[in-house]
Structure formats: structure tokens, C-alpha cells
A and B are shown apart, each in its own frame.
Chain A
């Protein structure tokens, strides 16, 4: 930087330093400093006088084709604002307005202390100073309303994007102010799609891992009930769903009856806290265990189908759970990735919830049908497991062994002894 240039910029630096110093003394945040500096610059900058922006005071002509603005009722300022805003956008030269029983003014306007104005008054882009009397409503657009000592407005007063200063004046009606709608203020920062995806992914993964841990624990310590419930899901799917649905409906009545029953026995009142806890735990176990059983059943079906196609896989409950849970969480994964899309994202969420609810209902029903995996009645196990030997499975025809027909006259009668005389 050359010396002459530095000299030329020195006053500017000095000015900025002068402006910033008092601002720094007051402000707590950098944004306050900048705002204060900007305000001071506006105050001292030549040609930036607020008066300069105001239009020349004049009456707004009316006409038959001019838009009409009703000012007799100011109790609905929002609808009034729309009509004034539409008119205020017109260039001053072309501005025409009809105020029924009143008048419109552009620029500053004042009512003298010895004056009485009859009818409603609209002041656009200027300050309305009232020293005298106004018999009607007063509305300002983009300017303040000042009611000086002795002023009387026998009506309502409304300032759009301005202030009403009561400096001793009297208003028989309502005094209202309304700010212009601030440009969209995204104070609530909308999450970006990426942040939505990451956040949803974290949540979904967390639930998935939790369920997997619970499932692996169940396989480790309660494999048999899990398999029985899983088989119930596969063998009695519709029945399990209906039972699950009924179970959901009857959960609360059952709980209520249980509590009331205990209360009626008087002595049972003491058991209520324990019953509440046990009931809640059983309910959670039924729902979670049922969901894991559904995952197990899904995983088993898929794995066996893959094996039937010749793929070498290790059929075990851990794999079944992993595959099944991946299937159950697939709709959630889709929502995780595309859930930020409006409407479609909500539909995906709804679909994921619906699918999860359906599967949870089936699982809950299967848990109820199998009494928590203890009864095999609906598990499709018609043959005792001990009979499921390789010889039985491969040597026995699918529809059993047809019995040979006995020769005529050899049918033993009830109570008769064998005719070969063997003893």
C-alpha cells in the first residue's frame, strides 16, 4: 500500500473506529455491533434522510374506476391490509382510491387544533399528526400516527407498519398496530435432507442393533420357545394375526378386570403394584418376543428357499434372525433414505408403521397362541421331534404306507383269538 493511499484511507479508518467504539461498549454480540454501525452510518450519511423517501403530501384522487377501500370496520386488519397493500404498490402518479365516507392522503398529513375532519382517513407513506378532531377511523400505511394533546379521534386507529403515539390525545375506539409480515424468517432451521438421512439412519440402526441383541439373547437362552413361536407364525399366520388383533383390543380391559378383581378381593390390593409391573413386562415380552419370532420365521423361510436353490448356507437361528430383521427393517431403511421428501416421505413412514404393526400383531398373536412358546398346538408340529429321523423323513412316503388288504374271512372279530392258534 502506497503512503498516499494510506493517507487517503486514514480518515475512513478513523471514522469506522469512532463508529465501532461506542457500539462495542454497548453491544454484547457482533451482530449488535454491525447493526449499531449501520444505524450510525444511516444517521450521518448524506442524502439518506428519511424525509427524502416520503412522497410529496397530496390528496389521493378518487374515481369511479378507482379501487375501493372500506375503513368503517377496522376489526379485521388482515383483510384490510390486503386491499391497502394492493393499492399501495401503484406509483404515486397513477394512484386512485375511493374511501367510502372518507378520504385518502399520500405523504404526511396533519389535522390542526382548530380543525375537524369528518369521515374515515387513510394516510399512505406518511405521518398522521392529529391536533384537532377526527370523526371517523384513522389508518396509516407505512407511517406513524401521533395523537397530540387535545386531539380526539371518535373511532378506531390502526397503523400498518408504524406506531401510534398517544401524546395526550383521546381515542374513543380501539388503537391497533400491525407490523408488516417479515420476510420468511427461517428461525426454525429446516433440517437438510442429508442431516435428516443421517439422523434417521442413526435411530433406525440403533433400534435394529437393540432388537438384534435381544434376539441373539433369546436364541442363546430361550431358543425352544422362540422356535415354537416362529413355527406358529409360519403355520398359523392368519390365526396369529387375528389373535394378535384381539389381544391388542383386549389388553386394557383385561388389565382393568385384573386390577378390579384384585381390589374386590381386598387382600389382593397389596398385589396390585406387582401385578401392574408383571403385566407390563409380559406385554413387552409378548410384543418384542413375537416380533423376533416373526423375524425368525421370515429368515428361516428365506434361508431355506435359498438352500433349495443350491446355495450353501448355514441354517441357524442367528442367521434367521439377521435375515428376518433386515427384511422387517427394509421399509424403515427406505424411509430413512427418502423420508425427507414431502408427502412421499410421510407415505413411506405410514407404510413402514403399517407393515411393522402388521408383523408385530402377528408376532403378538403367535406368542399368545403358543403361550409364550410353550405350547406347540399351532406350530404345525404334528410329528414329535424325536420321530424326525432321516430314516422316517426319507423312507416314509409322503402320504403314508398303504395297508395290504386282508384275505376274505380272515378279519378277526372283536374278542376272538387269533385263528393260527399262537399263544
Chain B
């Protein structure tokens, strides 16, 4: 009888073993050797991510704390292209019972150099991201967020003109602050479900065209008071708070009073189904 008990105990003890996280730290840095342009991709599966301008003399820097059982660090640089990929990629899951993260969460800090022109592509999974892109030379920006909370901030002016900012958010909360500093003439936004705030504060270098497509959720446009706004709205079961914009005769276009003469013209095309669009003026 005692043997059966021992066997059962051994099985139970063995069965109770669970796989915990194995945290590792990884860093990757490259000095600036006069690269003039770079196609950079940041892919980050989960955890917290911070992107900041790198110190002088550094092309890029990655500091990562990650769970070695789940993800692998990625730092690939192809000098010939030149192309850069930083972040993490998910490992194929093996068997065993996984324990949810309650300890140290995975975290990454990425520094991007301020001397090379960047074609920047950011792909975020279930991450909480804080991206400070002010001062970085961004020639094109593409941001894809999944189920995440993302804050993109342009605290300083982009030294070069940015051809396009393509933003897409799944079930996410996205806040983009200082789009005026980004110097992107075209801003495309595609949203699924969530709250999205696009803030156009900053030093504009020309008119901005925003094309927004929002399925369900709230889209808030924060526009400097001195800017002229022309908004074309195609909505279906969605609310709209015009905030002083005047409706034109066709019924779909809304315009601010000083749009024609404004040096900061924002032309917005919004297509939304269920949700709401709000325009807020900022001083």
C-alpha cells in the first residue's frame, strides 16, 4: 500500500512542476560609422518597449530583458542594404504548463541614431510602448500595433521631411503627440477597436493630409487653434463633434473659418462605422 502512495506522490510532485520564466539580458550596440540612411524594423512581441534617440556616435543600441523560454532577441544589421532589425521574435512553444508573467516583465530599450535617415517600421504585439521619436531623422514611418497601449511622441522636430506616416492599430489605445514636429505630409491611419488620439501640435513644415479609417472606436483629433481644418466625413452609425467647424452644402465636408488663408492646413478624410470622431482645439 505504501508503495502505491509513494508512486502517487511522485506523480503528483512531478506533475506539479511548472515552467517558470528564464530571464536573460541582452544588449547590442553599433557605433555610427557615417551611415547616411537605414531601413530599420523594430519588432517586439510583448512586454514594455521604450524607443529613444541614441547618444551621439551610436547608430543604434538595444538593451533587452527577455524570457529565454518564449522569445529570442533579434539584432540583425545588413551593412550592404543597409537594413536593421531589432527586437524579439517568438520561439516555438514546447510542451509544459506555462506560468503567466507576474514577476519581472520583459522590457526593451532601443536607441536610434540621429544622423542616418531612417525608414522606420515598428511592429508591436501585446506590448506597452513609449516611443520618443523627436529629433530622429525619419524619412518614412510605419507603425503597426496589436493589442497594445502605445504612445508615440515627437518632442522635437524631425530634421528631414517625412514622406508618410502609416499608422495602424488593432485593439489598441494609441496616442500620437506632436505630429506637427514629425514633418510628415501624409498621415494614414487605420484603426480597429480602441481609442486613438492624433495630436497635431508642433512646428509644421507644410500642409498635412490625414486619411483615417476607423472601424469601431473613438478617434480624437487635436489640432492647433491657428490651423485650418477641412474635414470630409463618411460615417455610419458614428457620432461627430465638429467643435466649431462649419458644415458645407454637400453635408459631408466640415471646414474651419480660416482654412483657405491658414499656413497650417490640415485636410482630413475620415471613414468610420461605429464609434465617434471628435475634434479638439489646442492652444
Contacts and interface: CB of A to CB of B under 8 A. Distances in A.
A192 B16 contact: yes
A75 B78 CA distance: 11
A178 interface: yes
Given A178-B24, A342-B96, A185 B29 contact: no
Contact of B99 (A177, A188, A340, A344): A188
B104 to A, nearest CB: 6
A190 B18 CA distance: 7
Nearest to B104: A187
A126 to B, nearest CB: 21
Contacts of B26: 77, 176-179
A310 B12 CA distance: 43
A257 B97 CA distance: 43
B72 A78 contact: yes
Contacts of A271: none
A178 B102 CA distance: 23
A272 to B, nearest CB: 8
Given A173-B30, A174-B77, A341-B15, A190 B99 contact: yes
Given A341-B15, A342-B15, A188 B27 contact: no
A189 B27 contact: no
A174 B101 contact: no
Interface of A: 75, 77-78, 164, 170-182, 184-190, 192-193, 340-342, 344
A78 B74 CA distance: 11
Interface string B1-27: 000000000001001101011111111
Contacts of A192: 16
20 contacts: A75-B75, A77-B26, A164-B29, A171-B31, A174-B29, A175-B29, A175-B30, A176-B29, A178-B27, A181-B22, A182-B22, A182-B24, A185-B21, A187-B104, A188-B103, A193-B12, A340-B15, A341-B12, A341-B15, A344-B15
A176 B29 CA distance: 6
A188 B102 contact: yes
Contacts of B18: 190, 342
A187 B103 contact: yes
Given A78-B72, A193-B12, A176 B28 contact: yes
Contact of A176 (B15, B23, B27): B27
A152 B113 CA distance: 21
| Residue of B16, B22, B100 contacting most chain A CB atoms (<10 Å) | B16
B20 A187 contact: yes
A180 B23 CA distance: 9
Contact of B30 (A174, A179, A188, A190): A174
Contacts of B75: 75, 174, 176
Contacts of B252: none
The 9 closest A-B pairs by CB, nearest first: A187-B103, A188-B99, A186-B20, A190-B18, A179-B25, A175-B29, A177-B27, A188-B102, A176-B28
Contacts of B29: 164, 174-176
B23 A182 contact: yes
Contact of A187 (B16, B27, B31, B102): B102
A342 to B, nearest CB: 5
B27 A184 contact: no
